[in-house]
């Protein structure tokens, strides 16, 4: 039971991290119809910017400055890149952000090299917050949960309680009407793109010290984020939240509990072929859950698409 609690916390950390990325991605997608393939690259930039700042000014200044920097960069990309490609349609837009992802990875390697940089959590958080049955929960994890939840609540507040949020929500459903009402939709687009990428930046800043800051970190997380929003249903914020947590817990539990296919198969009544290495089914018999933890999100996506083509919370006409 105690182990379950530990894994619940670990999965929550992963899930909330995923949500910070998928929330920004969903906001951008529902507003502009553009799936930002480079979204995870902004997450990576967040980590690298924070690292560079932390070298001179420490972790906390990095946490404060890196996300707005990433956001400004994102807004510039929207203004001078995406808006230009917009006229050609959604597929070229997607191709543009794909190219952008390639470029950012190359640029990061150009500036910071191919190896991981030494970006670490601040010393003040290097203690054990509490223990559950001998399993230490580091304070940094608790800090990550609080930051994620804080941002989630702030986002919810802005979207539902403020005037800007109202306009954004209206623009989500009726972009043309909002434009007709005299709002500067291109400016809103730029703003939303900036905020979305800044959210990804925050995720990068706080995830960098735990998941390591290296040029491949965008690709590692990127595909999972896209899978998340497809599972949740493209354009649905609630769906993104549910799918993020689902994936977070699914992978964490799969890694923590060594469920072996062999046990399942013998339990169902199959007998193990001997010797196993001669059998055609050796891979099936030797599969364990930690081994396939990382592909579970993809499997989940395929299953969901077969039975619910529009994702968990997707609207049919999205």
Partner 1 sequence: MTDLTQKTAHVPPAVTLGNTLPWILSIAFLAIAPQIFSSNSAITIMNQMGITIVFALAYNMLLGQGGMLSFGHAVYMGVGGFACVHIMNMETFFSYLPLPFLPIFGGVVGMLLAVIVGSFSTRRAGTVFAMISLGVGELIAACSVIIVVFFGGEEGISGDRTYGMPFFGIEFLQHIEVYYLTAFWLLLSAFLMFMFSRTPVGRMANAVRDNPERAEFLGYSSRWVRFYSFVASGFFCGIAGGLFAINYEILTEENLNLATSGGILLMTFLGGAGFFFGPVIGAVVFILLQTVLGLQTDLWALYVGALFLATVMFFPGGFAGLLMMHVTPIRLGKMHVLYVPYLKTFIPGILAVLGICSVIEIVFHARHAPLGDEDMTIFWTTFNSHSIVAWIVAIAIAVIGVWLTKKAAPGLVEAWHEANTPDKGASA
- Positions touching partner 1 (CB under 8 A) are 29, 33, 35, 81, 84-85, 88, 90-92, 94-96, 98-100, 102-103, 106-107, 110-111, 113, 219, 223, 226-227, 229-230, 234, 280, 282-283, 287, 291-292, 294-295, 298-299, 301-302, 305-306, 309
> How far apart are CB 309 and partner 1 at their closest, in Å?
5
The smaller minimum CB distance to partner 1, of residues 91 and 268, is found at 91
In angstroms, give the least distance from the CB of 179 to partner 1: 22
The alpha helices in 33-138, defined as continuous H runs, are 39-57, 59-77, 83-86, 90-112
Output 135 or 291, the one with its CB closest to partner 1: 291
Shortest approach of partner 1 to residue 301 CB, angstroms? 5
Nearer to partner 1, 268 or 280 (CB): 280
CB of 215 to partner 1, least distance (A): 11
* 75 vs 151 by CB, closer to partner 1: 75
Nearer to partner 1, 205 or 221 (CB): 221
Min CB(52)–partner 1 separation in Å = 13
Nearer CB in complex with partner 1: 85/259: 85
CA dist., res. 304 & res. 311, Å (int): 6
**CA atoms of 235 and 238, how far apart (whole Å):** 9
CB 201 within 8 A of CB 207: no
Find where tokens 């491949």 sit.
Answer: 216
Contact present, 209 and 121 (Cβ < 8 Å): yes
Q: Do you find a cis peptide bond into 275, omega within 30 degrees of 0? A: yes
- State how far the Cα of 148 lies from the Cα of 162, in Å rounded to an integer: 20
Q: Measuring CA to CA, how many Å separate 54 from each of 48, 122, 141, 208, 281?
A: 10, 9, 19, 12, 51
Which H helix or E strand runs over 117? none
Shortest distance in whole angstroms from residue 201 CB to partner 1: 21
């Amino acid at each position: 039971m105690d182990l379950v609690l530990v894994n619940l916390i670990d999965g929550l950390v992963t899930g909330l991290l995923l949500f910070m990325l998928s929330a920004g991605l969903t906001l951008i997608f529902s507003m502009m119809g553009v799936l930002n393939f480079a979204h995870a690259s902004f997450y990576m930039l967040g980590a690298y910017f924070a690292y560079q700042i932390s070298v001179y000014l420490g972790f906390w200044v990095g946490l404060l400055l890196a996300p707005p920097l990433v956001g400004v960069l994102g807004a510039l990309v929207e203004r001078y890149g995406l808006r230009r490609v917009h006229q050609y349609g959604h597929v070229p837009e997607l191709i543009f952000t794909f190219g952008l992802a390639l470029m950012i990875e190359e640029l990061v390697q150009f500036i910071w090299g191919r190896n991981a940089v030494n970006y670490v959590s601040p010393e003040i958080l290097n203690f054990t917050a509490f223990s559950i049955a001998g399993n230490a929960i580091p304070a940094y994890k608790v800090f990550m949960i609080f930051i994620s939840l804080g941002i989630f609540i702030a986002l919810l507040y802005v979207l539902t309680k403020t005037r800007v949020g109202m306009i954004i929500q209206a623009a989500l459903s009726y972009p043309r009407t909002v434009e007709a009402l005299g709002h500067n939709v291109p400016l809103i687009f730029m703003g939303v793109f900036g905020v979305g990428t800044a959210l990804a930046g925050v995720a990068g800043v706080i995830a960098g010290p735990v998941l390591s800051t290296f040029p491949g970190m965008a690709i590692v997380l990127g595909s999972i984020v896209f899978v998340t929003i497809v599972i949740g249903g493209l354009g649905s914020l609630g769906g993104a939240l549910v799918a993020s947590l689902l994936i977070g817990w699914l992978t964490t539990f799969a890694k923590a509990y060594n469920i072996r296919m062999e046990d399942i198969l013998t339990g169902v009544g199959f007998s193990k072929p001997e010797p196993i290495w001669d059998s055609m089914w050796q891979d099936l018999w030797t599969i364990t859950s930690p081994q396939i933890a990382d592909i579970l999100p993809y499997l989940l996506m395929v299953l969901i698409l077969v039975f619910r083509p529009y994702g968990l919370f997707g609207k049919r006409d999205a």
